[in-house]
Amino acid sequence: MDFGLSEDQRLLEQSVRSFLNQQVPIDRVRELREHECVIDRKIWRALAELGVTGILIAEEHGGSGLNLLDAALVSEAIGAASTPTPFLSSAIMTAVGLAEVGREQTHAWLKGIATGEIMFGTAITEAFSKREGAGVSSANGTLSGKSMMASDVCTADFILVVCDGDKLAVVRRDAPGISVTKLVTIDKTRCTTEVQFDNVTCEAVFDGCSQAIDRMLQAGRIALAADTLGCCETMVEMAVEYAKERKQFNRVIGSFQAVKHMCAEMIAEIEPARSLMWYAAHSFDAAPDEAPLMACHSLAHIAEIGRDIASIATQVHGGTGWTDEQNVHFWFKRIANARHLLGGPELLRNRAAEVQGLAEAS
């Protein structure tokens, strides 16, 4: 029995990686980071033409209707290229959240995501972590409050917001009463903001969405784990290539035992992590009862090894690895930011313990 990827899945992964390598090389990412917002709609529309933006959206809404494992392979490719895109917010979390809500009025938004005409940002951090003064509430079809660490809001058309703990709301990005403050993080390949809502009129408010919120968090965490894994793969490849070229004492540094061990240890960390991520993505559709636990384990584990791999790969590059001259820092910073984007390893392990009945629900 073959537990590997199918031929179609491998072709999908290769197609996306080839497209990103050609159309969004790291030099293009360098250019985008100098803009007010790093996200480029041209890239989003081009991904839509490949069928990427609607990968999880049902065919009746104009999407491909594929599974999360397929989407995770795309996310891995995006991470490997360090591509700035709202794929996680729009194509994964919003697509899953709106599909779980399952109301007729979500059709236009899902169709717009699938065609690349619409981008969603997400303000969902308060669903799993709250800071003092943060939180969004709804009343009479309006939203008030503040959401921290919102993703991909800068150039979005709509924002998907978690409010009152178990509700999902859709608001226009340019609706009166919305104030967006760009947050400066080390990762220039992602758009992170603080969003303030002051009696903002909603396009829709959906009640009783606890299951939808849980499912979108599970999907997001698995896709984020795949993104981080892709970052790790690229950092290892860059470290190995550099070790083959850089010379010290008239020898390439890759011939030194210490450097060999560093590279081998990184690869040894990646391979079992890939299997963990694949199974977590597979469980989302094939074994949904296992998905809450697997989503936590996969992201917590890959976030941990990602930090180690990012550090070691940078060390292989020597002192220049810590400078802007070396592209390796793009992936280093993307991994560091992703570590806490949908919950840090400690929070995820606590959540895994709660799922297994080993700790009281917080």
CA distance 85 to 91: 10
CA dihedral 307, 279, 290, 56 (to 10 degrees): 90
CATH fold for domain 7-115: Butyryl-Coa Dehydrogenase, subunit A; domain 1 (1.10.540)
Question: Alpha carbon of 310 to those of 4, 24, 152: distances in Å?
Answer: 27, 22, 24
* pLDDT on residue 334: 96
DSSP assigned state of 191: -
Q: Given a cut of 60, is residue 194 above it in pLDDT?
A: yes
Cα 71 to Cα 53, 84, 285, 292, 332, distances in angstroms: 9, 16, 12, 17, 23
Closest to 276 in 3D by CA, of 255, 252, 297? 297
Q: Check whether 1 has a pLDDT greater than 60.
A: no
For residue 9, what pLDDT band results from cuts at 50, 70 and 90? very high
Strand locations in 72-154 (E): 120-123, 135-139, 142-151
Question: Is the pLDDT score of 165 beyond 60?
Answer: yes
pLDDT tens for each residue of 271-324: 999 999 999 999 999 999 999 999 999 999 999 999 999 999 999 988 778 888
Domain locations in the chain as residue ranges:
7-115, 120-209, 211-355
Structure tokens at 50: 């490949």
Rounded Cα distance, 123 and 121, in Å: 7
Which pLDDT score is estimated for 2? 65
Q: Answer whether residue 156 shows pLDDT above 60.
A: yes
Confidence label for 109 from pLDDT (cuts 50, 70 and 90): very high
CA–CA separation, 123 and 255 (whole Å): 48
The enclosing H or E element of 25 equals none
Q: How many CB atoms lie within 10 A of CB 124?
A: 27
Given a contact cutoff of 8 angstroms between Cβ atoms, the answer to whether 44 and 85 are in contact is yes
Residue 326 has pLDDT above 90, yes or no: no
pLDDT of residue 35: 86
Q: How confident is the model at residue 362 (pLDDT cuts 50, 70, 90)?
A: low
Alpha carbon 157 to its chain's center: 19
Q: What percent of the chain has pLDDT over 70?
A: 99
Q: Give the per-residue pLDDT at 103.
A: 80
pLDDT for 191 beyond 90: yes
Question: What is the residue-averaged pLDDT of the chain?
Answer: 93
Same fold, 7-115 and 211-355: no
The residue-averaged pLDDT of 233-255 equals 88
Q: Which pLDDT value is given to residue 247?
A: 79
Beta-sheet strands, E only, within the chain: 120-123, 135-139, 142-151, 158-163, 167-172, 178-182, 192-201, 204-206, 247-248, 251-252
Is residue 361 predicted with pLDDT exceeding 80?
no
DSSP symbol at 88: I
Please state the rounded mean pLDDT for residues 129-152. Answer: 91
Which tens digit of pLDDT belongs to each residue from 56-84? 999 999 999 999 999 999 999 999 999 99
Q: For the residues 217-239, what does the mean pLDDT come to?
A: 97
- Residue with the larger pLDDT of the pair 359 and 311: 311
Q: Work out the percent of the chain whose per-residue pLDDT is above 90.
A: 83
Mean pLDDT of 174-186: 93
CA distance to 161, 171, 195, 211, 213, per residue, from 166 (Å): 11, 16, 19, 9, 7
Reported confidence tier of residue 131, pLDDT bands at 50, 70, 90: confident
pLDDT the model gives residue 260? 92
Range scoring the smallest mean pLDDT among 111-125, 199-213, 238-252, 295-309: 238-252
User: Does residue 146 carry a pLDDT above 90?
Assistant: yes
At the top level of CATH, the class of 211-355 is: mainly alpha
Q: Count of alpha carbons within 13 Å of 180, Cβ hemisphere only?
A: 23
What is the three-class DSSP state of 197? strand
| Greater pLDDT, 357 or 8 | 8
Nearest alpha-carbon partner for 95 in 63, 127, 143, 50: 63
Helix %, strand %, coil % for the chain, to 5? 55, 15, 30
pLDDT at 56: 97
CA distances from 246 to 152, 238, 250, 261, 320 (A): 38, 12, 10, 17, 12
CATH no. for 120-209: 2.40.110.10
